[in-house]
Structure 1
Amino acid sequence: MPESFDVIVVGVGAVGSATCYHLAKQGLRVLGLERFAIPHAQGGSHGNSRQTKIAPYIGGPYEAIILRAYELWRELVAESQQPDIMVTTGFLDVHRQPQVAHYNRTPAPKDTGYFEKLDLAEIRHRFPQFQLTEPYWGTWDPTGALLRPELAITSFVRMAMQQGATILGNTPVQSWKADRFGVSVQTDRDTYSAGRLVLCAGPWMGKLLSDLSIVCTANRMSFGWVWPLRNAKSFLPEAMPCWCIDDEPGIYYGFPMMTDVPGYKIGLHWYGENVDPDQFDRMPNAHDEELIRVGLRKFFPDGNGPLLGLRTCLYDHTPDDVPIIDTHPDHDLVTLCGPLCGAGFKFVPAYAEAAAELAVTGTTTLPLDFLRIKRLLKQS
């Protein structure tokens, strides 16, 4: 019979690995269960780079979360001694509409040092590799940074295990049960018991929450890397920030080139089709390439060079596209951390800290009421 644990964490991707770490450093007996290898490229926590920024969230419900996440990312860099986990590049946010709601809140981001409005001429002056025309304009957040997902996950897992956590990869969870005495989790290896359970299963959350009649979906997405046709130095971190461009098919996003991954990464945010995370075509195709070629031809003709790689990933969504961080409505010993709705990586350490607090104390210090599950239960 396996040993009993204080907390079992199902899913050891980005938020699951961070949750294991936050729990283990409190001296708790923690078991993390991951269906794939750690880290892996089967969900939404891979691809060598993610963005983070502060300006879009100032004055809104995510402000306290993003500010705490920044603190925790910096703590992770210091404790892990891995400076590449978070590299400050700045963040350029490009818009078509003359007014953007999240830059017109009170207090305005510009009043807090996270925001500078750039007209088209200023964007061309600072970042000539962006080929933009009217009516585009931009906002500049100097605190924007590039995050390294695989390195972050590896660091969280390593530090959790150094604190005594048990973490098992290639161990699919088949089912879980909870009553007032504790929880049990059935895997393909064995059945494990604990005092509490945290579900961090990303695109698989919908299957784990099927009993709640909340439709959580997984969406197939794609992104790729190309080698610039000209002026490759202008795509290096010294010259190129992390960026987003709001355009007709969705939001294009990209990153500067990095030394350990050849090419310039670009993707299209929010595009995708609903899929079963266990049964869909993971192989990138010509349509996936054309999605990024459209953006390259329009905005980065110098970057529209040879294809170096395409990958697919999964976004997970709730019906209102707002994450769930809460106690299970039917089981006080079960904490839900997800779905995170496709834009959750930047918030990961703060979400994980809150999930660990909920699991241990039933409360959290972060203002997360808007992420409570009750809003969805009323709709279902």
Structure 2
Amino acid sequence: MTASTFAVRREDRLARFMRIRRQTLALCAGLSAEDLMVQSMPDASPGKWHMAHPTWFFELFVLGHDPAYRPPNPEWHYQFNSYYQSVGPMHARPQRGLLSRPSLEEVRDYRARVDEAVGELIERGIDDELAARIELGLQHEQQHQELLLTDLKHAFWSQPLHPVYREAVAAVAASPSVPMRFLPGREGAVEIGHRGREHFAYDNETPRHRTWLSPHALANRLITNSEYLAFVRDGGYRDPGLWLSDGWATVQHEQWQRPLYWQEDLATEFTLSGLRELDPQAPVCHISYFEADAFARWAGARLPTEAEWEDAAASLRAIGNFQESQQFHPRAATGGEGLQQMYGDVWEWTASPYVSYPGFKPLPGALGEYNGKFMNGQWVLRGGSCATPQDHIRASYRNFFPPHARWQFAGIRLGQDR
């Protein structure tokens, strides 16, 4: 978060707060208490925890800003803290699926009480610092909306019944093939990073700074299922020469042979609308950095750097296949001039490690733990996905995951030197 506070009217801020908070509940509609308690792997969290943790965030960092505030359930602080060491200990992440108490109904009531208290605070009037904390909390909530979907997908895939989360909005029609072309990017000195105080940004998007782009080009679209299938059938998962050392060790240890949710027949995949036929022209997704890098080598190309990606995306509108489409799955490119699918569909792995920008300064206090302390052993992804809220993304947004992570909607755009 920057110091931006936005020129937002009080009633507009309240409406935005309630809209985003209600969207989390809407994503949970139709799910049982059992569905929302499952934790299928250590990297994932139960849906109930995704409902409670952002609420805890508002309670601690917004309502707790008032020294007179007393949380009604202080014993929950330990259970719903995530990684804020400076505010106290927390329940171990891999064991969040053991938290049968508080119940789902108690968590829903917890959300309602905190929403009412924050709403009253906004109506009374707040200063710029509190407005910035509320906006950070809302952006944080939207991150957990996406995580709720990706974690639930892994949980449902892990079950033999392969439950359906939401029926597909419409039948998926056969997609036309869009020829891949490499479009040259700008060269020389460019500026990347958040532009200023008028819009929200996380601290890791700052400061805006100058960097150098060598001659390069970006693919006009994302890599498709059919293109990745050719890599699989050509023995890509059996050729150590294509893989980084740690990547090859991971392939051997985990016995990877295909993307995470592809079935053994290489013709169907698991989605949030259940098992369905693989669309050859849709973007491949649920790919790790290791797999994206290996595919790029196999294709005689490379992954873009985050600076190349951001400079190309900065002039484009952030429109695409986002959470609002209710598809919860990437769609094929539709054709046209210029770069396509830069926003939405799948997060795009870049060749850039997640490190600080020159002159980076984390937020003061406990909020400084939000991003900066994870700048180690992770890689940057850009552009958002079909599970990302549309108003959550921007050209400067830096997502990051370890190189073995596959359960996010992550895919591949190729780059090349010129």
Query: Shared fold by TM > 0.5?
Result: no
> What TM-score comes out, normalization by structure 1 length?
0.27
Name the one with the larger strand percent.
1
The alignment's TM-score, normalised by the length of structure 2, stands at: 0.25
The answer to which structure has the higher helix fraction is 2
Question: Relative contact order: is structure 1 or structure 2 higher (C-alpha 8 Å, sep ≥ 6)?
Answer: 1
